Amino acid sequence: MWTTPATDAFFGDVFQADFLLDTYVRSGAAPLGRGQLSATQAAKLARLTGVASGNVAIYSPSFGGDEGLALTRASAVSGTAMLVSDSCAVATALAQGREKRSVAGRLLFAPVVVAPDPRQWQRLAETVDFGRMAMEPHDGWPEGAIVELRYCFMADARDIKLNLAKRLATLTPDGADEVAARWSAFATRRGPHAYELSTTKLAHVLAAPGTGGVTDEHFAAGDAVAEALDAAWTLEGGALEEVVDCYAALGEGEAPPADADQALDVVVAKLRDLAALATQAADAVQAMR
């Protein structure tokens, strides 16, 4: 699932930086103001910690919140988080392959935490939870690491650009497909994990009262629908992505790149497969009604 990061950043890259924290403000958060530690206290602090004994700023709610700072909660594994912005949005924000652009905007991250109980990690590894995902082992993070899609946060693209060297790992193509399916299920209730559940429910709806219960034929009809949707998913996320790459390679007034014909042939073939599978799925569902 994991491989060494490339030069550019992509969806699913795992970063580790002190500022990458899922911070959340609740009733216990406190706005902070800035004050000055007395000379006597500063001298004591210097003896205890070895810091310089000059002017020492302190922050406390008692000073009021005029500094724009707040004390809040945070969760992550040493600032570890997964980049879940789309790779195209990442390229735009970080000006990757876009020489005329400047680095700007924000990118979305999901914090990485450690399961308090190994059994919790094991459960997530064996089942699908749309909002949480068990991470496969890697030297960059502790055992039992979990991606918390439920608690995403934004980070400034300029800071991410400065910290590209702090990536721990990037996803393999298969790993990226799995995380994309999980993220789509959580964020939009679409994609393979979502329609797998829906087509199972379809089988139960087809087995109306009085039909003797749900049979293998009912589930087969649901599987046929899922297979057609799989074909649509791979068309959108695979074949059409190749076409997008060809479009990006187009120069003004220039002919399409050499691999454009091959990319278009794949799109046509995928569409024909999708049409055939959709017809088979419609027939299977109709036969069970």
Clarify whether residues 79 and 128 are in a common domain. yes
Clarify whether residues 181 and 206 are in a common domain. no
Q: Which range of residues forms the domain containing residue 82?
A: 2-25+75-185
Distance CA 237, CA 245 (A): 12
Average pLDDT for 62-87: 81
β-pair type (73-75, 22-24): antiparallel
Indicate whether 37 pLDDT > 70: yes
Q: What is the pLDDT of residue 76?
A: 67
Distance CA 189, CA 184 (A): 6
Clarify whether residues 136 and 223 are in a common domain. no
Q: What's the number of domains the chain is made of?
A: 3
In tens, the pLDDT along 226-240 reads 999 999 999 998 899
- Confidence (pTM): 0.80
* Last residue within a domain, chosen from 118, 153, 185: 185
Q: Cite the DSSP H helix spans in 68-169.
A: 87-93, 118-126, 157-162
In tens, the pLDDT along 100-140 reads 789 999 999 999 999 989 999 999 999 989 999 999 999 99
Answer left, alpha or beta for residue 179, where phi above 0 means left and psi between -120 and 50 means alpha.
Answer: alpha
Clarify whether residues 20 and 36 are in a common domain. no
Clarify whether residues 178 and 251 are in a common domain. no
